């Protein structure tokens, strides 16, 4: 869970989020090296009173500062493309959940089980219990089994919404008349919070998402209680 003094990402709770964090760290190392090199060159130019006239129009240096950025971009582009394909990959999901955005709440349908449908509203601040997160708690949680591949289908009945859980590295638009598919797998049990990430009207800030990851036996028990 992100706190007020958090500067980085939330702890990754899915293999996909862990890969996103690795890619971020990889890119930051490259950026630090570039900034250091450019800063050194700028400082050397500013404080150096000598001028090398043979470098003012040099084919060699032109080739270097054209080829070197291209090589650096390859080191960024290849891992980025790999992640883009992983984001859209849905192999053999063990569960399919349909998330439908409304103004301003979410409803869920478990397509693999009959009659498992419910709406999820934000718990008012006055009803929060000690330890609850303000504007993030919902009356009904989206329950998924830990370690299971889940296919989530996102759509909307009115305007564009966005189903997002940062700790899982999941974000997909819910568009009216269209089904967007995403894949998620939670690697540890717990509660994970998200919010609508597309401005959708006056109460956009009041349609949170609460996903609960439980063991397989607890998930089966929950399904039996809902049917």
pLDDT band at 6 (very low <50, low <70, confident <90, very high): confident
How large is the average pLDDT for residues 183-208? 90
Residues 6 or more apart whose Cβ sits within 8 Å of residue 29? none
Residues 66 and 105 in one domain: no
Band (85; pLDDT cuts 50, 70, 90): confident
Determine the average pLDDT of the residues in 108-133: 86
Same domain, 140 and 183: yes
Q: Is the pLDDT score of 112 beyond 80?
A: yes
Average pLDDT over residues 8-37: 89
What local confidence, expressed as pLDDT, does residue 65 receive?
82
Percentage of the residues of the chain whose pLDDT score is greater than 70: 95
More confident site: 160 or 112? 160
Same domain, 181 and 131: yes
100 and 83, same domain (yes or no)? no
Q: Is pLDDT at 166 greater than 70 in this prediction?
A: yes
Question: Is 111 a domain residue?
Answer: yes
Tally of domains within the chain: 2
The answer to whether residues 163 and 203 belong to one domain is yes
What's the CA gap between 163 and 106, in Å, rounded? 9
The verdict on residue 4 lying in a domain is: no
Residue 55 resides in a domain: no
Question: Residue 215 is part of a domain; what is its CATH number?
Answer: 2.60.40.420
| Residues 143, 196 within the same domain | yes
Regarding whether 149 and 79 lie in a shared domain, the answer is no
Contact 157, 101 (CB under 8 A): yes
Mean pLDDT throughout 159-187? 90
Domain span at residue 31 reads 15-48+60-88
Report CA torsion sign: 174, 179, 185, 190.
positive
b/e string for 123-149 if b means 16 or more Cβ within 10 A?
Answer: beeeeeeeeeeebbbbebbbbbbbeeb
Specify the pLDDT at position 9: 83
């Amino acid at each position: 869970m992100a706190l007020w003094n958090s500067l980085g990402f939330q702890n990754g709770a899915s293999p996909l989020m862990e890969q996103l964090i690795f890619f971020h760290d990889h890119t930051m190392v490259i950026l630090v090296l570039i900034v250091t090199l450019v800063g050194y060159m700028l400082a050397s130019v500013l404080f150096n009173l000598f001028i090398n006239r043979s470098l003012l129009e040099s084919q060699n240096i032109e080739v270097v500062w054209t080829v070197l950025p291209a090589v650096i971009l390859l080191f960024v582009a290849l891992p980025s493309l790999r992640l883009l394909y992983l984001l859209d990959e849905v192999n053999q999901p063990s569960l399919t959940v349909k998330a439908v955005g409304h103004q301003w709440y979410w409803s869920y349908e478990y397509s693999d089980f009959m009659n498992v449908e419910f709406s999820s509203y934000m718990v008012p601040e006055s009803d929060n219990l000690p330890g609850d997160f303000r504007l993030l708690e919902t009356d009904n949680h989206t329950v998924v089994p830990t370690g299971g591949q889940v296919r989530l289908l996102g759509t909307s009945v009115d305007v564009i919404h966005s189903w997002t859980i940062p700790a899982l590295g999941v974000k997909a638009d819910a568009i009216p008349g269209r089904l967007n598919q995403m894949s998620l797998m939670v690697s540890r049990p717990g509660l994970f919070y998200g919010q609508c990430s597309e401005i959708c009207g006056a109460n956009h800030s009041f349609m949170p998402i609460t996903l609960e990851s439980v063991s397989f036996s607890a998930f089966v028990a929950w399904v039996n209680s809902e049917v």
